[in-house]
Amino acid sequence: MEKLKKEIQSIVDVYKSRDLSKAELLCKKLILTNPKVAFLYNLMGLILADQKKIEQATEYYEEGLKIDPSFAMIYNNLGLLFFHQKSNGNVKEAEYYYKKSISLNNKIPEPHTNLGSLYNSQNKFQEAIHCYKKAILINPKFAYAHNNLANVYVSLGNFTEAKKHFNESIKL
């Protein structure tokens, strides 16, 4: 198990260095030797999505869900794929996946923040504020939620709250 953790961390480091083709190759090799580790399918989905290989990313996410149907972050990441495709049908899919992720684990700030961004893109500002505040409640140091909340407050003309959250985001 410790060896697997080190190998996964090595792939994550390569991924963070933005050598995506190398990260993809390493992750594929690790999946071959560890085909029942859902986390690897999620990681592969992220690597492929960053390379704009959307169909392949979706396939890996779906494989990961076959192994662990309660893996909340995979649903969040599927939501991101649909949200970034930006058509009306895809927005509904994205909303479904974010809510599914939250229903499985409501202690992860990312799906709350992503759902807030979806609502913000639809000018549903109160819903967006609620989602961002929920993410901040879960993790007060989640800079993205503070930044996104500040942007909503700017849209609403509430510059006092916007400044407060922009400053917190910068500080973090």
* pTM of the shown model: 0.90
- pLDDT band of residue 90 (cuts 50, 70, 90) is confident
What's the pLDDT tens digit per position in 20-32? 999 999 999 999 9
In whole angstroms, how far apart are CA 21 and each of 10, 14, 29, 113?
14, 9, 13, 29
